[in-house]
Amino acid sequence: MGPINELWEILTLVTVVVVGALGVLVALVRGRGGRGASPTLPRTGRREGDVLVDDRDRAADAGTEVPNRGGGVLVEEPEAPVAPGLERPESARGRLQRLRARLARSNSAIGNALLALLSRGGLSDEDWEAVEDTLLASDLGVEATQELVDSLRTQVRVDGTTDPAQVRQWLHEDLLRLVDPSMDRRIAASREDGHPAVILVVGVNGTGKTTTVGKLGRVLVAEDKDVIFGAADTFRAAAADQLTTWGERVGVPTVRSHQEGADPASVAFEAVKAGVEMEADVVLIDTAGRLHTKRGLMDELGKIKRVVEKQAPVGEVLLVLDATTGQNGMRQAEEFAKEVDITGIVLTKMDGTAKGGIVVNVQRKLGVPVKLIGLGEGPDDLAPFDPEAFVSAIVG
């Protein structure tokens, strides 16, 4: 019986070791957030004015649901499992060239009408009035229209020709001069002095601000920038949801409030603060659409800018304008410029209008460049504005 007892003792010892090892393995799995675990992240809350700010550990939060704490400002980060399937946006370089045909389809009516008039020969005063009417209908503006007509009349009179090729060249040169290729159209989107670049996006309802922020985020991600969205349009829950969705597609976190009507300045402040803490390159802040005639809402823009600049300077204030709105859009632009220092214009809905002259008009009125144009509904249909490509799309 001696050997049997020894064998039994050995089997018992092996069983104890195996069970113990299994216990350790289970504990390790649970400690690392296994499926059977219900981890609770340490959370801290602090008050910033009327908004509760929820802090979170960026790394530990991946894949973990964070409870909504009422009106708290939360960083909505894309969940880790989604990361492998993130979209890689098309590079901004060459976008306008790719979209040039679409732009030409809508705006070539201007060039075609002008060339048809100017190539007749023996132009009468009535013909020149028709040229003026065509230019004014394109929203070029009275002053720019007069300059262009005077220049063309002089060249036709001096040269004595209305050869279509020559007229096309004159028209191209004069329009390009009016569009002004010398204006700096770069977007300030680089970290400086230890803080992220801050871009504030403003405009009236319906111009496509939130969509523009989402598309601009894609442009910047394509340029290998670390971006954060700030959903400071707190009057429409759908706006924050929409922006969060844009961010999730390309891995951009969104700072938002889940309380409708929360203080937009506080949300913007927290977005920039998150950008500083996460060492992001750019913080893009979406603001609520507001009528340019509503004084209180316009004053709020100034407040947002002042509050944000306690964290980092606002390097860009981009005004989003609907290219189809004509002179009404110009009045909007002038009122917004009075409240905040506009640094650039984004023209949306350029794909469905023959009113490309608004580029010249708005630049003259505000003294700031058109930096981006929207040429469609696709996620990558926002392009840096290229004066040469734009004029070529109109005139050929």
Helix (H) or strand (E) holding 170: helix 164-179
Q: Which domains does the chain have, with CATH numbers?
A: 197-342 (3.40.50.300)
- Identify the band that residue 99 occupies on the pLDDT scale cut at 50, 70 and 90: low
Q: What pLDDT, in 10s, does the model give residues 131-165? A: 899 888 888 889 999 999 999 999 988 988 878 88
208 labelled as ligand-binding? yes
245 labelled as ligand-binding? no
288 labelled as ligand-binding? yes
63 labelled as ligand-binding? no
Rg (CA), the chain: 29
64 labelled as ligand-binding? no
Comparison of pLDDT for 189 and 30, the residue scoring more: 189
Which of 374, 377, 317, 381 lies closest to 347, judged by CA? 374
Judged by average pLDDT, the poorest of 109-118, 126-135, 145-154, 218-227 is 109-118
- What pLDDT is recorded for position 298? 74
359 labelled as ligand-binding? no
Q: What pLDDT, in 10s, does the model give residues 248-282? A: 999 999 999 888 788 999 999 999 999 999 999 99
Q: What percent of the chain has pLDDT over 70?
A: 71
Query: Taking the CA of residue 10 as centre, how many other CA atoms within 13 Å lie in the half-sphere pointing to its CB?
Result: 6
Which of 136, 156, 100, 98 lies closest to 394, judged by CA? 100
- Identify the band that residue 28 occupies on the pLDDT scale cut at 50, 70 and 90: very low
205 labelled as ligand-binding? yes
Comparison of pLDDT for 342 and 21, the residue scoring more: 342
- What pLDDT is recorded for position 293? 53
Comparison of pLDDT for 3 and 42, the residue scoring more: 3
Q: Is the pLDDT score of 109 beyond 80? A: no
287 labelled as ligand-binding? yes
- What pLDDT is recorded for position 105? 65
Longest dimension (CA), the chain: 128
145 labelled as ligand-binding? no
Contact assessment for residue 375 and residue 90, using Cβ atoms and an 8 Å cutoff: no
Q: What pLDDT, in 10s, does the model give residues 287-313? A: 987 665 566 667 888 899 999 999 999
290 labelled as ligand-binding? yes
Which token pair is 242? 């929409």
203 labelled as ligand-binding? yes
Comparison of pLDDT for 37 and 209, the residue scoring more: 209
Helices 209-222 and 237-250, axial angle in degrees (round to 10):
20
Q: Is the pLDDT score of 215 beyond 80? A: yes
Q: What is the pTM of this model?
A: 0.76
Comparison of pLDDT for 23 and 149, the residue scoring more: 149
350 labelled as ligand-binding? yes
- What pLDDT is recorded for position 25? 39
